[in-house]
Amino acid sequence: MLMRNSGITGLFIVGLLAGCAGLSDSTHYRPVVTEQKSIPHVAVTVSHKADGIYQVQVNNSLPETVSLQWNNSAYVNTGGDTTRLIHIQNLDRFPDDAPAEQLPSRIARGARLKTYFVGESWIDYARRGVMPRPRDVENKARIYLSFNINDKRIYWTGDVTFVPDK
């Protein structure tokens, strides 16, 4: 009788684990960035590249050089936690650790910058090719890109929504 009960218990546990696996949401989500606050004469486009890596493109139409200040740029996740953005200059040479200080990216008059970034708290996910899962897909995350223009800090802001991959 004891053997029979342990077999039933084992089947129950396997069934329970299988049911829990079915209940967990294994949906993969794709981040979509929508501009919320623009900067006149500085066109900024941010898009998700892959596995927590974002691409930013900046076109500077101002008569002076502007700089993207990485140390003052941030990502606020769906739970309200803030992480500093880490500039990724070369996707083939991904950093092992987040740098303590980052040099700004300068964009000359009439020039275009195209580069990549990740959030500091998920740099390891991106390096391993794993997409970090948003805490709450119903809420939006937010990206703040800090620019120095004429010795003033000006922020570009974008909302990040998460849509299920098809």
Looking from the CA of 85 toward its CB, the CA atoms found within 13 Å total: 28
Residue spans of the domains in the chain: they are 29-164
∠ Cα 115 121 123 (to 5°): 45
Domain 29-164, classified CATH 2.60.40, yes or no: yes
The pLDDT value recorded for residue 25 is: 55
Residue positions counted in the chain: 166
In whole numbers, what is the pLDDT of the chain averaged over residues? 85
22 compared with 119, residue with greater pLDDT: 119
Is the confidence at residue 68, as pLDDT, over 80? yes
Is the confidence at residue 39, as pLDDT, over 70? yes
The pLDDT value recorded for residue 123 is: 85
Cα Rg of the chain, angstroms:
21
d(CA 52, CA 70): 17
